[in-house]
Amino acid sequence: MISKTVLVTGGAGYIGTHTVLHLLLAGFKTVVVDNLDNSSHLAILRVKELAGEFRNNLSFHNADLRDRDALEQIFVSTKFDAVIHFAGLKAVGESVKKPLLYYNNNLTGTITLLEVMAAHGCKKLVFSSSATVYGWPKKVPCTEEFPLSAANPYGRSKLIIEEICRDVYNAEQDWKIILLRYFNPVGAHPSGYIGEDPRGVPNNLMPFVQQVAVERRPALTIFGNDYNTIDGTGVRDYIHVVDLADGHIAALLKLDESDIGCEVYNLGTGKGTSVLEMVKAFELASGKKIPLVMAGRRPGDAEIVYASTEKAERELNWKAKYGIDEMCRDQWNWASKNPYGYGSQKDSTD
Ligand code: NAD
Ligand code: UDP
């Protein structure tokens, strides 16, 4: 059994909670730092319950990454073997309206974290990047060597952080950094006890579909049905959040190997699914009809994006296990048990 201690920033969030649970079950001591800006303390309590006998290996700090003193305190009190860095703002539309908020939070938070890590001799990092850095790819599947671009401040913050990490490694080669480019995380833990609970109107497809299914919203708007795809709707690589969580354990194990340097890996399934195919799979899993409204393309959206998974399979020894039927089954299980996420109808922002 592994007995290492990992700091997880943003560990109360969607991907963070699932990863923290897997870390605990794999025997890691896990410390979460999260300012609960887009999450709930209840999520941490639920992770503890799911972790059973490992629950006491999880501790939580309600702090902002940009609060250097708070972060210092955490590093003074615990010696970390590695950091998984999820904390960041992620709503594309909001990033266009409030670029400085996004650059301040995502960049200042990351720089502060890297500085404090270096000061305490912790130089192993796994960072949450995104397939958004591939922009509108000229061909698919996307390999890690593809040219990078950003269509909005959120994407640009990911690109800049990737560059910062490469520079940090080039300057000091005792750093070991893995940049994980997630494709489209969906689904929830099969218990239906933890899942995605975005604040306000969801930007992403599946949280929106889920809210239509529980009658919080009347219909799903389809952004474009004139793409050059199987049915005209956009194609993405949806990946079960449980598979994604496992990818982080694989990355941590990889960091323990020598000479990794600063490496990037796609985490996806390698399969493309259209919006309408995804809606159909969700209808089947839930028995609910999702009313649709056709609309124009969303600015900045790519036509077809899916991953080449070869590098992760080969070097991380990791491969996604679940398909869209399981993703939709688990998404519905979470939605039907928690129609208002971690909150209640009373405090929802609908
Ligand atoms: P999330 O919003 O559920 O989780 C992020 C967490 O970070 C939240 O709990 C939030 O409260 C916390 N946080 C934000 N800023 C903070 C700060 N300054 N200090 C402390 N805590 C802070 O998002 P998620 O879906 O779990 O995504 C996790 C990471 O993965 C993010 O960096 C996101 O950009 C990236 N990512 C997500 C997706 C996706 O579709 N979900 C895709 C690609 C990449
Ligand atoms: N999409 C949609 N309606 C929505 C949200 C998303 O039709 O309310 C489409 C979107 O145009 C894209 C796909 O669903 O083709 C996935 O969108 P999402 O925002 O989840 O992921 P991303 O575009 O960032 O990969």
Provide the pLDDT confidence category of residue 208 given band limits of 50, 70 and 90: very high
pLDDT in tens, 294-311: 999 999 999 999 999 999
Across 205-220, average pLDDT = 98
Predicted local distance difference test score (pLDDT) of residue 348: 67
- Residue spans per domain, the chain: 5-186+239-268
Q: Which ligand is nearest to the CA of 128?
A: 1
Predicted local distance difference test score (pLDDT) of residue 198: 87
The catalytic residue among 102, 134, 154, 193 is: 154
Checking if the pLDDT of 181 tops 80, the result is yes
C-alpha 229 to ligand 2 mean position (Å)? 14
For residues 13 and 44, the answer to whether their CB atoms sit within 8 Å is no
C-alpha 131 to ligand 1 mean position (Å)? 15
Opening angle at CA 24, ends 28 and 332, nearest 5: 150
Query: Catalytic annotation on 169?
Result: no
Higher pLDDT, 200 or 122: 122
Across 7-33, average pLDDT = 98
Pocket residue to mutate for ligand 2, from 212, 275, 282, 328, most atoms within 8 A of Cβ: 275
Provide the pLDDT confidence category of residue 347 given band limits of 50, 70 and 90: low
Across 159-184, average pLDDT = 98
Cβ of 121: how many Cβ atoms within 10 Å? Answer: 10
Across 10-17, average pLDDT = 98
Predicted local distance difference test score (pLDDT) of residue 346: 62
Calpha distance 76→214 (Å, rounded): 45
Predicted local distance difference test score (pLDDT) of residue 71: 98
Q: Using CA positions, which residue lies closest to atom 19 of ligand 2? A: 204
CATH number for the domain whose boundaries are 5-186+239-268: 3.40.50.720
Q: At residue 17, what are phi and psi to the nearest 5 degrees?
A: -60, -45
User: Quick one: three-class SS letters along the chain?
Assistant: CCCCEEEEECCCCHHHHHHHHHHHHCCCEEEEEECCCCCCHHHHHHHHHHHHHHHHHEEEEECCCCCHHHHHHHHHHCCCCEEEECCCCCCHHHHHHCHHHHHHHHHHHHHHHHHHHHHCCCCEEEEEEEHHHHCCCCCCCECCCCCCCCCCHHHHHHHHHHHHHHHHHHHCCCCEEEEEEECEEECCCCCCCCCCCCCCCCCCHHHHHHHHHCCCCCCEEEECCCCCCCCCCCEECEEEHHHHHHHHHHHHHHHCCCCCCEEEEEECCCCCEEHHHHHHHHHHHHCCCCCEEEECCCCCCCCECCECCHHHHHHHCCCCCCCHHHHHHHHHHHHHHCCCCCCCHHHCCC
Q: Of all atoms in ligand 1, which is nearest to the CA of residue 66?
A: 18
Residue 98 Cβ < 6 Å to ligand 2: no
Checking if the pLDDT of 3 tops 80, the result is no
Ligand 1 environment, Cβ below 6 A: 10, 12-16, 34-39, 64-66, 86-90, 105, 109, 128, 130, 182, 185, 204
CA contacts within 13 A on the Cβ side of 284: 11
Predicted local distance difference test score (pLDDT) of residue 257: 85
pLDDT in tens, 71-125: 999 999 999 999 999 999 999 999 999 999 999 999 999 999 999 999 999 999 9
Give the strand pairing for 176-182 and 184-186.
Answer: unpaired
Pocket residue to mutate for ligand 2, from 134, 216, 236, most atoms within 8 A of Cβ: 236
Q: Using CA positions, which residue lies closest to atom 6 of ligand 2? A: 205
Q: Of all atoms in ligand 2, which is nearest to the CA of residue 295?
A: 7
Pocket residue to mutate for ligand 2, from 14, 298, 328, most atoms within 8 A of Cβ: 298
Residue 5 Cβ < 6 Å to ligand 2: no
Across 39-59, average pLDDT = 98
Q: Using CA positions, which residue lies closest to atom 4 of ligand 1? A: 13
Q: Of all atoms in ligand 1, which is nearest to the CA of residue 37?
A: 11
Quote the mean pLDDT of the chain. 96
Side chain identity, residue 195: G
Calpha distance 3→327 (Å, rounded): 31
Q: Which residues pair with 60 in a beta bridge?
A: 32
C-alpha 204 to ligand 2 mean position (Å)? 5
Q: Of all atoms in ligand 1, which is nearest to the CA of residue 129?
A: 44
Predicted local distance difference test score (pLDDT) of residue 2: 57
pLDDT in tens, 308-346: 999 999 999 999 999 999 999 999 999 999 999 999 766
Across 219-236, average pLDDT = 98
